[in-house]
Amino acid sequence: MSLVQVNTEGGVYPIHIAAGRLNALAQSIPASTTAIAIVTNPTVDGLYGDQVRRALEESGKRVLTIMLPDGEEHKSWSTLNVIFDRLLAERLDRKALIVALGGGVIGDMAGFAAACFMRGVRFLQVPTTLLSQVDSSVGGKTAINHPLGKNMIGAFYQPVAVEIDTTVLNSLPGREISAGLAEVIKYGMIYDSQFFDWCGANMPALRQLNAPALAYAIQRSCEVKAEVVSQDERESGLRAILNFGHTFGHAIESGLGYGQWLHGEAVGCGMIMAAELSALVCGLPPAHVHAIRELVIASGCPSVPPAWSADKWLELMQVDKKTEGGQLRFVLLPHMGKAVVQTVEASAVREVLRRFESSTQE
Amino acid sequence: MSLVQVNTEGGVYPIHIAAGRLNALAQSIPASTTAIAIVTNPTVDGLYGDQVRRALEESGKRVLTIMLPDGEEHKSWSTLNVIFDRLLAERLDRKALIVALGGGVIGDMAGFAAACFMRGVRFLQVPTTLLSQVDSSVGGKTAINHPLGKNMIGAFYQPVAVEIDTTVLNSLPGREISAGLAEVIKYGMIYDSQFFDWCGANMPALRQLNAPALAYAIQRSCEVKAEVVSQDERESGLRAILNFGHTFGHAIESGLGYGQWLHGEAVGCGMIMAAELSALVCGLPPAHVHAIRELVIASGCPSVPPAWSADKWLELMQVDKKTEGGQLRFVLLPHMGKAVVQTVEASAVREVLRRFESSTQE
């Protein structure tokens, strides 16, 4: 088993990474827990629900399951209320523990519900997609979407632990593996150029679900994420670099309607766009732009953005949470393995969008 | 001007208490603020909206006003969404400041909106009722109600400052003054028996809005509340004593429908009931029970609870946030000026309810 430690003001907790970890979940239940509510969806419940209930019941606590509809389009207040209604109807109290069993949508909603229920109860992250294992389950970002923007309503709220069972990836569709790999290679781009190179060399093995390769990729991704959020839990500075590719990516998700592209797919394409913007405004060498594009393509994510007008792109990006006083801010790479956050003139963004426009017409 | 300091892990901030303080609000606006959103209701806006907008515009920032419907029955997600919709439509960003201008309902909702909007923006409390000045604006509790319980969905989230203008109390109906005085005398009961005696001696002056008496009562209340929440921000122990009278009080509010009795009225009556329970299970002397009843009556709050069956009372109290593992927990007074939190057998609660039942029949 690998252990990665997260140290934030909002909480210090372990990330456990192991094959078969789902069977050991009772080890992470705080003794004072009065009841456990598993939040999941029918797909994940069908695959792992019984196994997880059995493992949690070993703690001797009452265990109940709250089923949410599947998909990003349900990451809304009305779905969140399904959790609150059930927690209250079942009389769960402040010492209850919420278990997020699923991908990023489940983790974000169960975590936000835990942050708000009775002003905060404990929760455990049990991510079952590659994307949530390497990204959304670590660091305490929780949220729901608003019709005017993704993740606009939420909280920074840390789990008591993150439990990653690498065997669950065997049941994941290839498209979801690719979406997760987009976030994996992101860590190389923004923080560790050696890891970027390692990803380049091991991409075929990763897509074939080679167990040692995946375990290392997950561990290194969690290490980078833990280092970054331990320095800046509430994203007053450094943490924003984790959003590399996300400003374009969120625009794609929001403009197409949530759930059309997977989050990781949108981020993958968004990283190519952000690399082009980096080349234009802070000198990322063309060879690195090329390497980023090639690795995104190798990961299986789309590399061609939707063919929208620049006005539409800018409109969609205005609601990004990094925006300050109406000015667009982007995560950019001055060179491979190093990210910065800076304000960018709309004219530079338009120039990059024009390049993609012509590339899609050729 | 009086200054009371609050020191919590979630934030260190001042409470300013002065006649005319509304005119000086620009002093508390952080320099990095990009825009200011005042959250208020039509009643308060009609009385103080222009004055507050003028004062805030002195900061040179953009100021907009978000109007919510008036009343506890609107402390819901749909009303909260009025704030989110407007903040997003107006493109406010992470450096926005939310100003809660109003009573406890406005403060709770504006504060919770600030806690959740983009995972947290700054907010300023400008309480305009006695109850919110001495209680709900201090300490960072924010929440909305759920059909199954009051304040069930919320956050601990501290403001950047609390600005108390004592002159606003002159526009307050007598019933709201009484409701606020219930919380004032509570601080004497749970923490400072001398202050309880002072309240007894000065109750007529307080109800007549004698300015020096009110200013002292507000300052001492804020001092006690600040001391308590500075020791225990997230209510893992001590802070719960602030809920003296609230378990019965919340049951009254919830059972009658929110907004029938004012929160302070329900707490006033609830404190008489909690005093009786204290006498029964932890030895509060009958003379103190009597003094508490007399001072609640002198404050102008109701002293006779609704005539419900014990089963109904217990059902309503089960969802209280202090409940743990199904056991009822109450704040009780072993003697005047000292409060404890403890588990109480349902049979003892039934005994106290029986006494009130017979008193209402006589």
Does B118 sit within 8 Å of A91, measured CB to CB?
Answer: no
* Interval B104-147: pLDDT, tens: 999 999 999 999 999 999 999 999 999 999 999 999 999 999 98
Cα distance between residue A168 and residue A181, in whole Å:
15
A16 is catalytic: no
Give how far A42 is from chain B: nearest CA, Å.
26
Cα distance between residue B148 and residue B254, in whole Å:
8
Cα distance between residue B288 and residue A359, in whole Å:
83
Give how far A226 is from chain B: nearest CA, Å.
19
Per annotation, catalytic residue among B122, B225, B321, B329: B225
Q: What is the pLDDT of residue B321?
A: 73
Res A360 pLDDT > 60: no
Does A156 sit within 8 Å of B119, measured CB to CB?
Answer: yes
CA-closest candidate to residue A302, choices A150, A175, A184, A199: A175
Question: With contact defined as beta carbons under 8 Å apart, do B112 and B155 qualify?
Answer: yes
Which residues in B lie closer than 8 A to residue A326 (C-beta atoms)?
Answer: 91, 93
C-alpha distances out from residue A164 to A1, A67, A125, A198, A212, Å:
10, 21, 8, 22, 14
Q: How far is CA A150 from the centre of its chain?
A: 13
Cα distance between residue A10 and residue A234, in whole Å:
9
Which residues in A lie closer than 8 A to residue B319 (C-beta atoms)?
Answer: 88, 91
Q: What is the pLDDT of residue A148?
A: 84
If you search the block for the tokens 């300015």, which residue do you land on? B211
Q: Which residues pair with A116 in a beta bridge?
A: none
For each of the domains in chain B, give its residue range(s) and CATH number, in order of start: 2-171 (3.40.50.1970), 174-361 (1.20.1090.10)
Res B362 pLDDT > 70: no
Question: 3-state secondary structure string, chain B?
Answer: CEEEEEEECCEEEEEEEECCHHHHHHHHCCCCCCEEEEEECHHHHHHHHHHHHHHHHCCCCEEEEEECCCCHHHCCHHHHHHHHHHHHHCCCCCCCEEEEEECHHHHHHHHHHHHHECCCCEEEEEECCHHHHHHHCCCCEEEEEECCEEEEEEEECCCCEEEEEHHHHHHCCHHHHHHHHHHHHHHHHHHCHHHHHHHHHHHHHHHCCCHHHHHHHHHHHHHHHHHHHHHCCCCCCHHHHHHCCHHHHHHHHHHHCCCCCCHHHHHHHHHHHHHHHHHHHHCCCHHHHHHHHHHHHHHCCCCCCCCCCHHHHHHHHCCCCCCECCECEEEEEEECCEEEEEECCHHHHHHHHHHHHHHHHC
B86 is catalytic: no
Q: What is the pLDDT of residue A361?
A: 43
Cα Rg for chain A, rounded, in angstroms?
A: 20
Cα distance between residue B78 and residue B258, in whole Å:
16
* Interval A198-214: pLDDT, tens: 999 999 999 999 999 99
Per annotation, catalytic residue among A163, A176, A223, A235: A235
Three-state SS at A123: strand
Instruction: Say how many CB pairs under 8 Å bridge A and B.
Output: 103
Q: What is the pLDDT of residue A72?
A: 80
Q: Which residue of B has its CA nearest to A117?
A: B153
A312 is catalytic: no
Which residues in B lie closer than 8 A to residue A141 (C-beta atoms)?
Answer: 119
* Interval A15-51: pLDDT, tens: 999 999 999 999 999 999 999 999 999 999 999 999 9
Q: Which residue of B has its CA nearest to A120?
A: B155
Give me the phi and psi of A155, to 5 degrees please: -150, 155
* Interval A156-214: pLDDT, tens: 999 999 999 999 999 999 999 999 999 999 999 999 999 999 999 999 999 999 999 99
Q: Which one of B118, B146, B239 makes the best mutation probe of the A interface by having the most chain A beta carbons within 10 Å? A: B118
Q: How far is CA B42 from the centre of its chain?
A: 21
Between B65 and A236, the higher pLDDT residue:
B65
* Interval A87-110: pLDDT, tens: 999 999 999 999 999 999 999 999
Which residues in B lie closer than 8 A to residue A84 (C-beta atoms)?
Answer: 146, 152-153
Which residues in A lie closer than 8 A to residue B93 (C-beta atoms)?
Answer: 321, 323-326
In percent, the amount of chain A with pLDDT more than 90 equals 88
A250 is catalytic: yes
Question: With contact defined as beta carbons under 8 Å apart, do A53 and A63 qualify?
Answer: yes
Cα distance between residue A78 and residue A283, in whole Å:
45
B246 is catalytic: yes
CA-closest candidate to residue B172, choices B184, B161, B164, B180: B180
Side chain identity, residue B54: R
Cα distance between residue B104 and residue B73, in whole Å:
12
Does B120 sit within 8 Å of A234, measured CB to CB?
Answer: yes
Give how far B87 is from chain A: nearest CA, Å.
10
pLDDT-based confidence at residue B96 (cuts at 50, 70, 90) = very high
C-alpha distances out from residue B282 to B247, B334, B343, Å:
17, 5, 11
pLDDT-based confidence at residue B358 (cuts at 50, 70, 90) = low
* Interval B247-297: pLDDT, tens: 999 899 889 987 789 999 999 999 999 999 999 999 999 999 999 999 999
Q: What is the pLDDT of residue A73?
A: 83
Q: What is the pLDDT of residue A186?
A: 98
Of B84, B93, B323, the CB nearest to A93: B323
Residue B160 structure tokens: 């950047």
Between A150 and B256, the higher pLDDT residue:
B256
Res B360 pLDDT > 70: no
Of A94, A148, A234, the CB nearest to B321: A94
Q: What is the pLDDT of residue A359?
A: 63
pLDDT-based confidence at residue A60 (cuts at 50, 70, 90) = very high
Cα distance between residue B42 and residue B47, in whole Å:
9
Q: How far is CA B130 from the centre of its chain?
A: 9
Of B34, B118, B141, the CB nearest to A325: B34
Of A81, A85, A91, the CB nearest to B326: A91
pLDDT-based confidence at residue B323 (cuts at 50, 70, 90) = confident
Question: With contact defined as beta carbons under 8 Å apart, do B155 and A115 qualify?
Answer: yes
Q: What is the pLDDT of residue A324?
A: 73
Between B361 and B275, the higher pLDDT residue:
B275
In percent, the amount of chain B with pLDDT more than 90 equals 88
For the ranges A146-150, B309-313, B357-361, which has the lowest average pLDDT? B357-361
pLDDT-based confidence at residue B361 (cuts at 50, 70, 90) = very low
CA-closest candidate to residue A285, choices A320, A328, A330, A337: A337
B16 is catalytic: no
Q: What is the pLDDT of residue A259?
A: 74
* Interval A233-286: pLDDT, tens: 988 889 999 999 999 998 998 899 877 899 999 999 999 999 999 999 999 999
Does B318 sit within 8 Å of A155, measured CB to CB?
Answer: no
Q: Average pLDDT over chain A, rounded to whole?
A: 94
